[in-house]
Chains A and B, each alone.
Chain A
Amino acid sequence: MATAATGGSAPAVALEGVGRAYGERVALREVSFTLPAGQTVAVFGANGAGKTTLLRVLAGLLRPHAGRAIVLGAELPREAWRARGRTGLLGHEPLLYRDLTVRENLRFHARLHGVAAARADALIEAVGLGARADDPVRTLSRGMTQRAAICRTVLHEPELLLLDEPFANLDPGGAATVAPLIGRSSGPARVLISHDAEQGLADADWVLGLRGGRQAIWARAAEVGVADVRRLYA
């Protein structure tokens, strides 16, 4: 298990033997890795391999059934409250109320996180949704909804981003506008689920490969080839 030492800052994520089951079905088993602050890990695996479960455990939404999970210095689930508000989750659901406008949704999240409303407005402009900000979310296209969801994810300036195929519904223009927010240069540590082997490898410092809930690959991105990733789906 390769770990990297980074200056003096604590790792963003440190998992040791983490497991999680749904009833009898084991979704994650013996997952162990350490992600230094500010770095990115690309997570690959077939459907049902446990990627979404991993993300939800890191977000504090699921309690680990085995092992130790330390996210941003807080041990889950005991100290989960310490990490709350410092992680940003972008899953398959936008987590926006469809009948409210983009602006109302973001302002609501801003209030929940104690963030100024002005930041919500600024983000809306930054992703190019200014013209549609006062339309209900259900009237937006998938790409625009995704952009709004990305705003929600980074609204409270999280130290750890948990992204599940963030560029999936975006056209190249959309992807370009959100890159400064959730891309490699944005700053926070990132756990990035991707199905695009080449893009994922290029965008990450580390690679985590899951197969059947178990950890099949953990290595630096430079040492992993596209073929290794493809084998996970075999």
Chain B
Amino acid sequence: MKNYIQLQLTPRIISWSVRWRRLRIYRVLAETAAVIFPFILLGSIIQAINTSMFMPQGFFSQVYHLSTVIPFYTQIRDLLILLEAVTINMMGPVTAFLAAKFMAHTYQKDETLAGVTSTLSFFAFNLNFGTGPRDTFLMQNFGYRGIFLAFLLGITIGYAFRLVKRTEMPTFKNSDLADRMTASLHHVLLINAILVISLLISYGVSYFNSAGLIGLFYSFLRIPLASVSSHISVRLALVTLINAILWWAGIEGPLNVNTAFQQGESPTITQNLNYALEHNDLFNVPNPVTMNTTYYPFANFGGVGMMLALIIATLIVAKRPSTRNIAKLSLLPSLVNVPGPMLVGLPVILNPLLLIPFILTPLVNQSIAWATIRLHIMPPVVYSVPSSTPGPLMAFLGTNGNWVALIVSLICLAVSTLIYIPFVKLSTRVTAEVLEEEEKA
């Protein structure tokens, strides 16, 4: 068995991954990610500070009563929200630009023009066709939510530019300004066609969904889960699985710690809470196994896919200083469950090697939580905690200080780290091979 893994499977996985990494689309993705990473990192750190320290429901603002400790509290919060708005919440148009630019670049076409067209097309897709007082654009789609479609759009438009001839820009020396202007006009037909098509699609979509193409796309993802399986554990595992795959693909999955906590309390939480408050007993609550008792407190440390475990695994085994730096920079935001820097920076998104542990770790942790709750070793998490609570503390606080819950959390973290380690090692080898081949070439 061990021989099979070492001699057969590992080389094959490595060669697949090397081939995947040399795909045109993946190269475009990597280049795009490299450009937006600093903005994602900055935005994520600000988001982490904001949600944990400056939101009234933030973990640190609650525990340390920061609103009375920090001077100019609301003013700082307003500034942080604006900083978030111009970094992480503006990455959609930027991604559209970069993806089209790098795609067109691979065909040696007019990259800047492709990028600009792509950004404008992205804006066209997110026009707000609603009536009454409203923003011109659907701003909610400009952030992480819209990145996946922005990337697809960029790729498509970059590809479309392959169809037209590259214009040779006359050099400054021998040309009039007007020559240069008319040179750009070569593409006027294509650009117009793209923008008109974008607008038409966008207008058509507005009849079905007021949140635009991206809203329509996400509404398809809302699977009626109650009908999938009547058994609650199977249902939960299925949602976790789908969620992980979507996040891996760069799409916001159904399990999002921030929106889940904002949407307020589901009936199962309220029932559990009422029972616990009435009987002072957590073990026998009416809904012991739900997403709120198994997924969020045990399978979401550092954000989706146990990012905290991946960061620890990277810091343990990775050798390249750049990789280690990304992990170090991601550590702080991931402590309050903001996964962005690691998802984009490593990257995890569309990284075939990390897909397996990314799916596996939440499922394994959920099973551990499920088993310990079912065996009455640990009470389910009943009391609500802020979404920015450091992952390993969530269960401990949510059970009002049950030490078994803390131990189970630490076990979950250790198990997840162990799951990630071999894949991080593999990833190191793939990188080495890719570099080697590039050197040969």
Q: Do A and B bind each other?
A: no
B-side residues, CB < 8 A to A, are none
